[in-house]
């Protein structure tokens, strides 16, 4: 029994039917030789159900041709049905070839710009003389014949991986206590199952529990066998708005390109990086989690919430337009670039309801009537971090008595700046006094992200920095202090790669206190870190990962007052390499 020749499926707009007919004419020569079989929607017989017919032919295709024009790129059926399904089948062996038939801004379409289009120079067929255009179509037919030569007549079935690839180590740890948020968890469940939702953002002030919500949902997804996800990638931009100067997605895009399997030439354009990451994400059903996006957004003002980073802007826009999986964002500001767009949803993460806040206090060891616990939750704005700190403070300092919450310091600062949480931190500061615990918290204020173990060791090394690291050299006492601060929830519950972490509002609060009250210790701490990071990598690093300590050195050097030296000796000499502009060009 003779097998059927491989199928060539043509996706096109009926406005470009003339070009389709010219292409079919060339392919017909090969069809008569049993090299291939051509199919387009004009072969649907009168009275047949057209959608099942198209779906069946797409499933059987070995090669798919996209006849690209403005009409093609604006067709709802092509954009939402044919392109996504055919692009998804590339991983199963389908060859997709875009053919530019008429002038249009196709290079601004991410999934197209990342592909090899025909004619080979990307020049539209409509701009060519008739004989030249016909020759280009004949050459395309020859290329398709070469592709199919020796390949099986029917495509290999797509066998999804039983276990998805998962990379979530970059997401922050958020502790074991979690209450309420049932509606938000259900919203995430719906978004993952809903093909119309491509990007969902959770928007709230710092400390409201955005990361905890996402982590809790992610745990449930993992327990359910990942619910059909083929890849799960998580990343935290981590400063969470405490330090937006110099924030960049570069480390993320480089890591994502490698993890997603990009093996092409180095991409220099940030826009292009974002578009290629989006294209790779869309190749399989991917759950992408972007935590703490606000450092890369414009602060409140004329461009509130717009992404400053071009790579992230391109990525988020492309995923909002088309995404077989889901992108979950947590941020303090709604992402204005996709606000209101079809495919993008934003959820304001309101404060904890009084009953949920009361339950959180109870879990942390606070005692009192239901009425008093609910009232305490309301007084602290239902702010998740503030209530967590309040609970541990009342437990450790006030015998767990909720009625003694009036002893928590008043603070003239709005809730948007984390005022409720800062009230508790100020009370902790007074209770701890000038001891090692307070010095550890001030030390954390030197960082706008998790502090790695080597940097902490450099700060603790002799000679001690007066007012900052004196008394922190003894290892046993050091571990006791860390345990106490973790119990109070002022430090993250577990070590991060051997280093330390704290909630961004904690780092921000104690960093500001150190800078304002002991500027000499602030300067000396940053100077110690400047010297450490200068020596923490090769003189001339060759990769982005190896370059990261030099970027950190520049930041800490500037805060230490050594601005010109940081610029000359690190930024120009080792990052840019003078006129070579290495970090940009390589």
* SS3 annotation, 163-207: CCEEECCCCCCCCCCCCCCHHHHHHHHHHHHCCCCCEEEEECCCC
State how far the Cα of 427 lies from the Cα of 439, in Å rounded to an integer: 15
Helix 436-444 × helix 419-432 angle, to 10°: 140
The CB density around residue 95, as the number of other CB atoms within 10 Å, is: 18
Residue 157 pLDDT more than 50? no
User: Residue 535: pLDDT band by 50, 70, 90 thresholds?
Assistant: very high
Identify the pLDDT of residue 491.
83
Does residue 456 contact residue 499 with C-beta atoms inside 8 Å? yes
Quote the DSSP letter at residue 150. T
User: Residue 161: pLDDT band by 50, 70, 90 thresholds?
Assistant: very low
State how far the Cα of 478 lies from the Cα of 460, in Å rounded to an integer: 10
Residue 96 pLDDT more than 60? yes
Sheet holding 95-100, edge to edge: 37-39, 7-11, 61-68, 95-100
Quote the DSSP letter at residue 572. I
pLDDT tens sequence across 197-237: 999 998 876 656 778 888 888 888 888 889 889 999 999 88
Does residue 419 contact residue 383 with C-beta atoms inside 8 Å? no
> Across 119-123, 282-286, 390-394, which has the greatest mean pLDDT?
282-286
Residue 584 has which token pair?
């940009």
pLDDT tens sequence across 456-496: 999 999 999 998 998 888 888 888 888 888 887 788 766 54
Of residues 159 and 514, the one with the higher pLDDT is 514
Residue 451 pLDDT more than 80? yes
Of residues 274 and 122, the one with the higher pLDDT is 274
Mode of pairing for the β-strands spanning 326-331 and 199-203:
parallel
Of residues 132 and 518, the one with the higher pLDDT is 518
Identify the pLDDT of residue 426.
74
Radius of gyration of the chain (CA): 29
Of residues 78 and 109, the one with the higher pLDDT is 78
The full DSSP string for 329-359 is: EEESS--TTTTT-TTEEEEE-PPPPHHHHHH
State how far the Cα of 544 lies from the Cα of 548, in Å rounded to an integer: 6
Q: Give the residue-averaged pLDDT of 561-572.
A: 94
| pLDDT averaged over every residue in the chain | 82
Q: Give the residue-averaged pLDDT of 344-360.
A: 80
Residues 6+ away with beta carbon under 8 Å from 67: 10, 11, 12, 13, 16, 19, 20, 23, 99, 101
What are phi and psi for residue 406, nearest 5 degrees?
-65, -15
State how far the Cα of 364 lies from the Cα of 381, in Å rounded to an integer: 18
Identify the pLDDT of residue 560.
94
Cα–chain center distance at 194: 20
Residue identified by tokens 């700060």 is 459
Residue 251 pLDDT more than 70? yes
> Across 244-253, 309-318, 480-489, which has the greatest mean pLDDT?
309-318
Question: Nearest 10 degrees: CA dihedral of 301, 303, 307, 313?
Answer: 170
The full DSSP string for 366-381 is: -B--HHHHHHHHHHTT
pLDDT tens sequence across 15-54: 899 999 999 999 999 888 888 899 888 877 665 667 877 8
Identify the pLDDT of residue 350.
61
Residue 548 has which token pair?
């990261």
State how far the Cα of 287 lies from the Cα of 229, in Å rounded to an integer: 6
Residue 86 pLDDT more than 90? no
- Helix then strand count (H, E) for the chain reads 24, 10
Residues 6+ away with beta carbon under 8 Å from 427: 393, 397, 407, 408, 409
Q: Give the residue-averaged pLDDT of 151-155.
A: 41
In the chain, the N- to C-terminal Cα span, in Å, equals: 56
Residue 413 pLDDT more than 50? no
Question: Nearest 10 degrees: CA dihedral of 266, 272, 277, 281?
Answer: -130
Helix 384-397 × helix 354-363 angle, to 10°: 40
State how far the Cα of 418 lies from the Cα of 405, in Å rounded to an integer: 18
Identify the pLDDT of residue 301.
67
pLDDT tens sequence across 278-307: 999 999 999 999 998 888 887 776 677 888
- Pick the range with the lowest mean pLDDT from 22-26, 56-60, 70-74, 91-95: 91-95
Residue 194 pLDDT more than 90? no
């Amino acid at each position: 029994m003779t097998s059927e020749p491989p199928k060539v499926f043509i996706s096109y707009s009926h406005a470009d039917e003339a070009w389709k007919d010219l292409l079919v004419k060339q392919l017909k020569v090969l069809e008569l030789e049993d090299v291939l079989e051509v199919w387009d929607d004009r072969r649907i017989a009168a009275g047949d159900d057209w959608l099942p017919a198209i779906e069946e032919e797409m499933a059987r295709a070995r090669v798919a041709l996209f006849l690209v024009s403005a009409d093609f790129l604006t067709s709802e059926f092509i954009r939402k049905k044919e392109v996504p399904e055919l692009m998804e089948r590339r991983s199963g062996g389908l060859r997709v070839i875009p053919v530019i038939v008429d002038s249009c801004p196709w290079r601004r379409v991410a999934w197209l710009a990342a592909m090899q289009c025909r004619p080979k120079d990307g020049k539209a067929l409509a701009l060519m003389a008739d004989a030249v255009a016909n020759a280009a179509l004949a050459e395309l037919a020859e290329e398709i014949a070469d592709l199919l030569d020796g390949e099986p007549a029917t495509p290999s079935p797509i066998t999804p991986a039983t276990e998805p690839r998962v990379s979530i180590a970059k997401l922050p740890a958020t502790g074991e206590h979690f209450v309420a948020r049932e509606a938000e968890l259900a919203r995430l469940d719906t978004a993952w199952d809903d093909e119309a939702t491509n990007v969902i953002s959770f928007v709230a002030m710092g400390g409201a529990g955005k990361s905890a919500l996402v982590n809790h949902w992610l745990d449930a997804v993992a327990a359910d066998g990942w619910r059909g996800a083929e890849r799960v990638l998580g990343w935290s931009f981590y400063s969470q708005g405490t330090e937006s100067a110099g924030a960049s997605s570069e480390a993320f895009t480089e890591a994502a390109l490698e993890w997603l399997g990009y093996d092409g030439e180095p991409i220099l354009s940030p826009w292009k990086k974002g578009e290629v990451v989006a294209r790779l994400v869309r190749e399989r059903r991917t759950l992408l989690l972007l935590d703490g996006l606000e450092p890369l957004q414009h602060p409140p003002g004329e461009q509130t919430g717009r992404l400053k980073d071009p790579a992230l802007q391109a990525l988020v826009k492309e995923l909002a337009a088309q995404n077989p999986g889901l992108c979950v964002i947590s941020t303090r500001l709604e992402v204005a670039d996709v606000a209101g767009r079809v495919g993008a949803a934003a959820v304001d993460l309101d404060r904890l309801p009084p009953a949920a806040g009361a339950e959180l206090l109870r879990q942390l060891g606070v005692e009192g009537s239901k009425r008093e616990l609910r009232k305490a939750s309301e007084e602290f704005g239902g702010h998740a971090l503030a209530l967590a700190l309040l609970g541990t403070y009342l437990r450790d300092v006030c015998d767990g008595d909720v009625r003694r919450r009036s002893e928590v310091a008043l603070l003239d600062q709005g809730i948007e700046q984390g005022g409720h949480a800062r009230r508790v931190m100020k009370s902790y500061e007074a209770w701890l006094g000038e001891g090692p615990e307070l010095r550890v918290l001030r030390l954390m204020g030197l960082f706008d992200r998790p502090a790695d173990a080597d940097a902490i060791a450099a700060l603790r090394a002799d000679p001690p920095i007066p007012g900052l690291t004196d008394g922190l050299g003894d290892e046993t006492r050091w571990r006791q202090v860390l345990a106490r601060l973790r119990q109070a929830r002022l430090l993250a519950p577990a070590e991060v790669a051997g280093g330390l972490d704290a909630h961004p509002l904690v780092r921000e609060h104690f960093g500001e206190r150190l800078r304002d009250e002991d500027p000499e210790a602030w300067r000396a701490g940053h100077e110690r870190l400047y010297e450490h990071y200068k020596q923490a990598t090769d003189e001339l690093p060759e990769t982005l990962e190896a370059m990261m300590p030099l970027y950190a050195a520049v930041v800490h050097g500037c805060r230490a007052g050594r601005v010109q030296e940081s610029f000359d000796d690190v930024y120009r000499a080792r990052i840019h390499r003078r006129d070579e502009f290495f970090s940009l060009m390589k």
